[in-house]
Amino acid sequence: MTNTIAAWLAGLIFIAFAADWWFQDWTATVFLGFKMTELIEWLAFWR
């Protein structure tokens, strides 16, 4: 991954977090956090 691609990706992620904060009061971020926790627990079970 080049520095340019990494910078664009970081910018897009920042914009997504800012939009979630501004429009939905962190609803999508909290939902994805819970789902990521469930996925990690599920993967740990299969390990």
In order, the DSSP letters of 1-47 are: --HHHHHHHHHHHHHHHHHHHHHHTTHHHHHHHHHHHHHHHHHHHH-
> What is the rounded average pLDDT of the residues 16-25?
96
Please tell me the predicted confidence (pLDDT) of residue 4: 97
> What is the rounded average pLDDT of the residues 28-47?
93
Please tell me the predicted confidence (pLDDT) of residue 45: 83
Q: How sure is the predictor about 38, in pLDDT bands with cuts at 50, 70 and 90?
A: very high
The pTM for the full model equals 0.77
Please tell me the predicted confidence (pLDDT) of residue 47: 76
> What is the rounded average pLDDT of the residues 19-37?
96
